[in-house]
Amino acid sequence: MNRKLIPAMLAGMALLPAAAFAQEEGSNHHQSEVSVQALGSFVRSTTSNGVDHDATNSGGVLASYRFLFNTHNGVEVNYGYTRNTESYGLVSGIAGIPSDNHEISADYVFRFPLRRFTPFVLAGAGALIFDPRTQILPGAGTQTRAAFVYGGGADVNLSHRLFLRAEYRGFVFNSPTYGAAALSGLDRVTHLAEPSIGFGYRF
């Protein structure tokens, strides 16, 4: 046997455990995460042309799917549901519109993986769908508003796959008018604050 091959073979054998360890580490990177969270919904009050717009604070549920390209970068899609009452201080009195609210969003996520928990920030776009439950105002119907989404939070590892997620998301959008003639031109840029907490699973 060529003596020059012996050091090369020994070096190769020494590198095998390291290669196997690297492969194992790579296999521990899960590309997908799903989570379900309880959320709070808090809409900022606004005034347009002397008409106040407000919304009751409420709670709901948020479901998310996150796909990770690598350790730090990923994208996610979200669906949220809340129920509240949108109020408008019209000349004729306060008009309160009970509403089912749906949110759909897609975000870019940047993560900072640490040993026990993983902080993250996100930004994206979405749609808020306001669906009145009663016909209080003539002509009021379902209305969709585009929204800019931003936020951040952290995942706390409970096991290799299970984690606790605490998150804050903010939405910037035009307040709804439901297409009602009485609310025409009264929409204003407003803000929805949405803290949430729940559990997730990696796979």
Q: How far apart are CA 94 and CA 109, in angstroms?
A: 41
Nearest to 201 by CA among 34, 71, 13: 34
Q: How far apart are CA 35 and CA 200, in angstroms?
A: 4
Token readout for 15 is 């590198």
Identify the structural domains of the chain with CATH numbers, from first to last: 1-28 (no CATH), 31-202 (2.40.160.20)
Q: How far apart are CA 33 and CA 63, in angstroms?
A: 11
pLDDT tens, 132-156? 998 778 888 999 999 999 999 999 9
More confidently predicted of 19 and 173 = 173
Look up the pTM and report it. 0.82
What pLDDT, on a 0 to 100 scale, did the predictor assign at position 28?
Answer: 55
Angle at 42 between CA 125 and CA 118, to 5 degrees: 60
> How much of the chain exceeds pLDDT 70, in percent?
86
**113 Cβ neighbours under 8 A, 6+ residues apart:** 71, 72
pLDDT tens, 9-53? 444 444 444 443 333 334 456 899 999 999 999 999 988 788 898
Residue 44 DSSP label: P
What pLDDT, on a 0 to 100 scale, did the predictor assign at position 27?
Answer: 43
